[in-house]
């Protein structure tokens, strides 16, 4: 299996077309880097573990701390503070991760690192953490399985600093998947002290305490509100000069903007898009406007009612003026989607066509429309969701659909509703948890995916996606063709509509380095100031 490289196939081509350069500049070489960094975000999770999952709020914490085996490489430089998103990975806790010689596993060699409690990273930490991770968060088990790992016999301990993660079949993203936020490695010696019969994974304790190999000691955590960590001076890993990181949940975007402009916060994101322009005018603020493969989407429950009819879903797609959505809600940032997946051929169902939309509604028996509950949350895709929801409400009214807007403020409640399928239609964002199209096309579209709660499945799509996962990334032409075929199948079914291909945008204190979003859209605390 080849080392993982730049986003493969059609996705890379589509992404390249959307890149117009990175805003802001970096003069870190001549600027004193701070000892303390305050990060202002829209929401924080209720737990320091993936359970309960807090959606994008959990991504912020788990990516930031970074006690995963691998991480996405950054291609940022002083002259290009964004770089390009990549599927290439390097070690965090792992020294290396390579396919086993017999092709039946991934061999992981661990770095010598110590936890906040002075315990040395061991093979047992990896074994225990991955095992309890599957118990506390079923989505993790599904993700491991879809990445080719044998979830019934996952870890073989070779020696104290080496494990083999057994596979049923290596995929094009098996190694890459080990950077996933869900695959968090704990200090098992310390965590096991807090195991109880009612809590065999010690999640009650771990959710409020740090016992990991991130290199950070917990100073304070108030669920949903604030997190403060300090650099562990005994940690042997590589980090920048920042010694203390404070992450604050600041739901109000105006307040968040003020914090950055006054210098009270050094990093912030999740603004209204038109706020970025004004922030960029501040003499103390840099705006990183980075390429991204993330899409904001409209997801349907296809199990019953009008939305069970693909013609209705197509009508909704054709009634949405995506170009107007980009201009009105996204202030011109981003690109109107032309198909479900970047790299697929443009779909006729993605063209704005009210006449055809009305005809499809009539053909489906809904000439007079129907009521539609549309859920959204500022926690994902962000504050833009409110403007998008109102615009979509107005657009769908033109084909008789009476959209009732439902704002879900809590990130945990929003994530739970999605996982449990408690929605009719929902505005969402599909972050790049694993950048290979063979994975992210699995998570919400494959028939057996735990996170696919739309009710839609298609045997041809599943077959094509499986082929893509088995096709090495250097087989570009084959992968491009498979992506196009998969896109056509999903466009025909339309369980999820891609609305806008977004950008990775972060506001930082001018001169602060290391706050570049990785391929998964998040920053890494240990990189700050480096």
At 22 the pLDDT is 37
In contact, 6 and 12? CB cutoff 8 Å? yes
- What values do phi and psi take at 336, rounded to 5? -65, 130
Is the four-CA dihedral 300, 302, 307, 313 of positive or negative sign?
positive
Residue 80 shares a structural domain with residue 228: yes
Instruction: Name the 3-class secondary structure at 405.
Output: strand
> Minimal CA–CA distance to 236: which of 115, 324, 326, 155?
115
> Minimal CA–CA distance to 383: which of 515, 293, 298, 274?
274
- Rounded Cα distance between 530 and 525, Å, is 10
- H or E element in which residue 335 lies: strand 335-336
Residue 190 shares a structural domain with residue 300: no
- Rounded Cα distance between 461 and 437, Å, is 13
- Rounded Cα distance between 219 and 437, Å, is 38
User: How far is CA 306 from each of CA 312, 400, 493, rounded to the nearest angstrom?
Assistant: 7, 13, 14
Residue 121 shares a structural domain with residue 82: yes
Asked if residue 368 belongs to a domain, the reply is yes
Residue 260 shares a structural domain with residue 346: no
At 17 the pLDDT is 27
Low-confidence ranges of the chain (pLDDT < 70): 1-30
Query: Strands 244-249, 36-41: parallel, antiparallel or unpaired by DSSP?
Result: parallel
Residue 200 shares a structural domain with residue 323: no
Residue 251 shares a structural domain with residue 334: no
* Residue-wise DSSP of 407-429: E---HHHHHHHHHTT--SEEEEE
- Rounded Cα distance between 182 and 178, Å, is 9
Asked if residue 276 belongs to a domain, the reply is no
- Rounded Cα distance between 303 and 298, Å, is 16
At 102 the pLDDT is 94
At 443 the pLDDT is 85
Asked if residue 310 belongs to a domain, the reply is yes
Domain region containing 174: 31-271+504-527
Identify the residue whose tokens are 């491991």: 144
> Minimal CA–CA distance to 176: which of 72, 94, 67?
72
Asked if residue 178 belongs to a domain, the reply is yes
In contact, 42 and 270? CB cutoff 8 Å? yes
Residue 299 shares a structural domain with residue 437: yes
> Minimal CA–CA distance to 250: which of 273, 226, 222, 230?
226
Residue 173 shares a structural domain with residue 110: yes
Residue 186, strand partner residues = 212
Residue 267 shares a structural domain with residue 309: no
- H or E element in which residue 386 lies: helix 384-397
In contact, 316 and 357? CB cutoff 8 Å? yes
Asked if residue 147 belongs to a domain, the reply is yes
CATH number at 92 reads 3.40.190.10
How many CB atoms are located within 10 Å of the residue 348 CB?
11
Asked if residue 116 belongs to a domain, the reply is yes
Residue 407, strand partner residues = 376
In contact, 178 and 67? CB cutoff 8 Å? no
Asked if residue 364 belongs to a domain, the reply is yes
What does the buried/exposed string (b/e) look like for 57-71 if buried means 16 or more CB atoms within 10 Å of the residue's CB? bbbbbbbbbbbbbbb
At 270 the pLDDT is 87
Instruction: Name the 3-class secondary structure at 9.
Output: helix
In contact, 82 and 505? CB cutoff 8 Å? no
At 378 the pLDDT is 86
Two tokens, residue 98: 């390579």
In contact, 509 and 279? CB cutoff 8 Å? no
Number of domains forming the structure of the chain = 2
Asked if residue 98 belongs to a domain, the reply is yes
- H or E element in which residue 501 lies: strand 496-501
Identify the residue whose tokens are 């939305």: 307
Residue 201 shares a structural domain with residue 179: yes
Residue 309 shares a structural domain with residue 174: no
What separation, in Å, do the N-terminal and C-terminal C-alpha atoms of the chain show?
A: 32
Report angle CA 349, 355, 361 to the nearest 5 degrees. Answer: 75
- Rounded Cα distance between 87 and 177, Å, is 10
Residue 196 shares a structural domain with residue 89: yes
> Minimal CA–CA distance to 164: which of 214, 110, 231?
110
What single-letter DSSP state applies at residue 439? H
CATH number at 408 reads 3.10.105.10
Residue 229, strand partner residues = 218, 245
């Amino acid at each position: 299996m080849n080392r993982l490289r730049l986003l493969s196939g059609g996705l890379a081509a589509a992404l390249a077309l959307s890149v117009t350069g990175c805003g802001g500049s970096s003069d870190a070489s001549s600027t004193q880097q701070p000892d303390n960094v305050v990060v202002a975000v829209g929401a924080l999770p209720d737990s320091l573990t993936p359970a309960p999952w807090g959606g994008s709020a959990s991504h912020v914490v788990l990516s930031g701390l970074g006690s995963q085996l691998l991480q996405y490489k950054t291609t940022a430089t002083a002259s290009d503070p964004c770089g390009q998103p990549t599927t290439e990975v390097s070690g965090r806790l792992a020294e290396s991760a390579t396919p086993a010689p017999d092709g039946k596993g991934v061999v992981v060699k661990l770095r010598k690192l110590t936890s906040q409690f002075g315990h040395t990273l061991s093979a047992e930490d990896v074994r225990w953490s991955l095992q309890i991770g599957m118990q506390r968060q079923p989505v993790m088990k599904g993700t491991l399985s879809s990445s080719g790992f044998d979830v019934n016999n996952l870890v073989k301990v070779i020696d104290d600093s080496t494990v083999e993660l057994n596979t049923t079949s290596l995929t094009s993203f098996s190694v890459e998947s080990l950077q996933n936020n869900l695959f968090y490695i704990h200090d098992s010696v310390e965590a096991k002290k807090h195991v109880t019969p009612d809590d065999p994974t010690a999640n009650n304790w771990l959710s409020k305490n740090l016992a990991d190999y991130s290199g950070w000691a917990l100073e304070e955590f108030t669920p949903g509100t604030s997190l403060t960590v300090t650099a562990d001076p005994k940690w042997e890993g590589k980090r920048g000069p920042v010694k203390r990181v404070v992450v604050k949940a600041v739901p109000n975007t105006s307040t968040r903007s003020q914090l950055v402009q006054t210098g009270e916060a050094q990093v912030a994101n999740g603004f209204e898009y038109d706020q970025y322009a004004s922030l960029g005018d501040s003499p103390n603020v840099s705006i990183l406007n980075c390429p991204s493969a993330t899409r904001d989407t409209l997801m349907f429950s296809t199990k019953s009612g009008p939305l069970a009819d693909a013609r209705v879903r197509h009508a909704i797609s054709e009634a949405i003026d995506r170009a107007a959505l980009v201009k009105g809600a996204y202030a011109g940032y981003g690109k109107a989607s032309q198909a479900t997946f970047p790299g697929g051929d443009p779909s006729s169902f993605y063209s704005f066509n009210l006449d055809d939309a009305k005809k499809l509604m009539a053909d489906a028996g809904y000439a007079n429309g129907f009521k539609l509950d549309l859920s959204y949350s500022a926690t994902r895709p962000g504050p833009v969701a409110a403007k998008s929801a109102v615009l979509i409400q107005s657009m769908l009214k033109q084909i008789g659909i009476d959209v009732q807007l439902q704002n879900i403020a809590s990130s945990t409640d929003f994530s739970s509703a999605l996982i449990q399928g408690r929605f009719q239609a929902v505005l969402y964002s599909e972050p790049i948890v694993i950048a290979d199209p063979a994975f992210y096309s699995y998570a919400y579209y494959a028939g057996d995916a735990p996170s696919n709660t739309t009710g839609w499945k298609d045997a041809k799509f599943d077959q094509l996606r499986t082929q893509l996962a088995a096709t090495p990334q250097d087989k570009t032409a084959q992968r491009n063709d498979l992506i196009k075929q998969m896109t056509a199948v999903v466009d025909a079914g339309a369980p999820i509509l891609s609305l806008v291909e977004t950008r990775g945008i972060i506001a930082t204190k001018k001169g602060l380095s290391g706050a570049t979003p990785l391929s998964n859209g998040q920053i890494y605390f240990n990189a700050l100031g480096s």
